[in-house]
Chains A and B, each alone.
Chain A
Amino acid sequence: MSAILIVEQVLNGLQFGIMLFLMAAGLTLIFGVMGLINLAHGSLYMVGAFAAAWVAGATGSFLLALAAALAAAAAAGALVEMLVIRRLYKAAHLDQVLATFALILIFSEGTRYVFGSFPLFLDIPDCLSGPVTLPGGIQYPLYRLVLIGAGILVALGLWWLTTRTRVGIQIRAGENDREMIAALGINITRLYTLVFAIGAALAGLAGALVGAIQSVQVGMGEPVLILAFVVIVIGGIGSIRGAFIGALLVGLTDTLGGIFLPELFKLFMEGGAATQTGSALAAMAVYILMGFVLIWRPSGLFGSRA
């Protein structure tokens, strides 16, 4: 248990948290503006990853792959919004859950039909591969640092978009009162499609970026989706700032818990039992964290509506 290990794990946790933020931001934006609970968000993550892997395989360019991921996920999102999601805004949550669950089935099996059951691989580009030496002599993979940086840039961009641009003002107005901004001459239908596409593009970007360090396969989106739900429940549904803080909390808890809880239990238990108890507890740590946050604040850290 050295300082180097701790720094490495904290960075891993940050990287994981930042990627969760990209997912959670879209989810919380869509919920905040349209009041829609979108289970198919994980499918858009998967679409982004597959588009990136496919384009990277065909062209060899990572930048093109990222562009493809953004475009494919945004297009899939816009298409789904126009065909299905649009009919669900006024529906009960149960209907939203079921319809988007149906979309997961269609997306997952459709992707399996096109690409097969075997995972695809997306390579880290040469210029970003290999370790860098951080101050203090710590070796850390460059790509993961780039992920953290890219995520923070996106977070800043999103903050800029929602607070400093005309579209952002419209989006925030739409959260508060959709009839009013429709009466002011904003095309609310188009605004909703746009918001959904932005959320989808963020998920697709996350899928492509993470796809380079994991394998790209059917079903990759759902575990991330459920963690992203935990994030927005902790952060407060509808709050982008809450999603950011929540994502970092969840990312750090999950990563650090997996490493340190077994070690912690070794202090007062014998080796095998300690590892088992520690890792079982670590697997549940995120959900236990959520439980505590809910007991303390049922509407989340930054939530306004319960």
Chain B
Amino acid sequence: MIPERFINASVIAGLLAVPLWALMADEIFTITLTTRAVILALAAVGLNIALGMGGLVSFGHAVFFGIGGYAMGILAFHAQTFAPLELGPLTIEGTKSMPVIWLVATVASALTALVIGLLSLRTTGVHFIMITLAFGQLFFYFTISWSAYGGEDGLSIYVRNSFPDLNTLVPIQFLGLCFAALCLALLLQWRLRNSAFGLALNAARQTPQRVETVGLNPMRLKLLAFVISGAITGLAGALFADLNRFVSPTMFSWQLSGELIILIIIGGVGRLMGPVIGAAIFVTLEHWLGGLTDFWHIWLGVILLVIVLFGRGGVIGLLTGKEGPHV
């Protein structure tokens, strides 16, 4: 059986090799596909902190993805129309600067995660799944009826936002940014996992009572994990919006929340590289099966069923021969 460390290294190597090959062969489309996979992986890394480490089956992570997307959409919209955002006495200028947009996206997602977490963590199990799902719908319907920013049609941003000293319009440079963000998120998760917080969180997932008896508050641990998780997924949302130069209520859809969970399941729950492998496989399937048949979702469904019923532990579980943490 292959050690997990070796798999992790080859995934990173693969993520570097594919765009380099694409750059040599001048395959711009492959670079865009890779960027998509990297961004989805980033969103799923965020979810994996709540789901894999905290055992929180959030079926509403599209909320944070969407908030990140709309943070980018709203700021860039006000910049491209040169009309500042008037919020009562407050006047906010729009911006096209990525670092500012990212900051706003992560902070807004983290704050939303704090509120949603405070409410949802009052419950566990099925209730938690359904409540997070309902929060997703709340945001979905809100953006549909919010006509100031396009309502159901969404918002188009004509030029990709800028990053100091880089030309983000060049696909490989934008991919580089997304890849760096993914690596930072993975590093953060790795550090978290071995920190006191990560160990306590791991214990809180397995036996909350024990954590409580040693004087820690399992609810607060889970809330913090949920907030960090939401912030990372929010950042992914901002990047995803910049990749497509478009935001719409579908970024809040419950199907997207489901797909983020699927990415983790395909790769392996609670594994560091699970979301990355999942996203790579998902985007490849989407592109390859989607090219073969209009009905590729049937096959996605079948693959998912097989993984859930027979292949416990996803791809990494299969390769390492170990099931991985239980949720």
Contact = CB atoms under 8 A, between A and B. Distances in A.
Given A98-B304, A280-B146, A287-B134, A92 B298 contact: no
Interface string A80-123: 00001001000111110111011111101110110000000000
Interface stretch (B102-110, B117-125, B234-242): B117-125
A112 B134 contact: no
A93 to B, nearest CB: 6
> Interface majority SS on A: helix, strand, loop or mixed?
helix
B214 interface: no
29 contacts: A37-B129, A84-B305, A91-B308, A97-B258, A98-B261, A98-B265, A99-B305, A101-B261, A101-B262, A101-B304, A102-B300, A103-B305, A105-B297, A105-B298, A105-B304, A109-B298, A109-B301, A113-B295, A229-B130, A230-B134, A233-B130, A233-B131, A280-B142, A283-B142, A284-B138, A284-B142, A287-B137, A291-B119, A294-B119
Contacts of A299: 123, 127
Contact of A37 (B51, B126, B254, B269): B126
Nearest to B126: A37
B327 interface: yes
Interface in B277-291: none
A-B pairs with lowest CB-CB distance, top 4 = A105-B301, A283-B141, A102-B304, A287-B138
A121 B187 CA distance: 54
Contacts of A112: 295
Interface residues of A, number: 45
A295 interface: yes
Contact of B301 (A93, A106, A295): A106
B254 A97 contact: no
A103 B131 CA distance: 21
B301 A102 contact: yes
A84 B301 CA distance: 12
A280 B145 contact: yes
A226 interface: yes
A57 interface: no
A226 to B, nearest CB: 5
Size bracket of the B interface: 35 or more
A290 interface: yes
A21 interface: no
Given A106-B298, A284-B142, A226 B305 contact: no
A84 B262 contact: no
Contacts of A113: 295, 298
A162 B133 CA distance: 30
A97 B129 contact: yes
Interface string B92-103: 000000000000
A185 to B, nearest CB: 30
Contacts of A108: 297
Contact of A229 (B119, B133, B262): B133
B309 interface: yes
B135 interface: yes
A92 B327 contact: yes
Interface in B284-327: 295, 297-298, 300-302, 304-305, 308-309, 326-327
A54 to B, nearest CB: 19
Interface string A16-53: 00000000000000010000010000000000000000
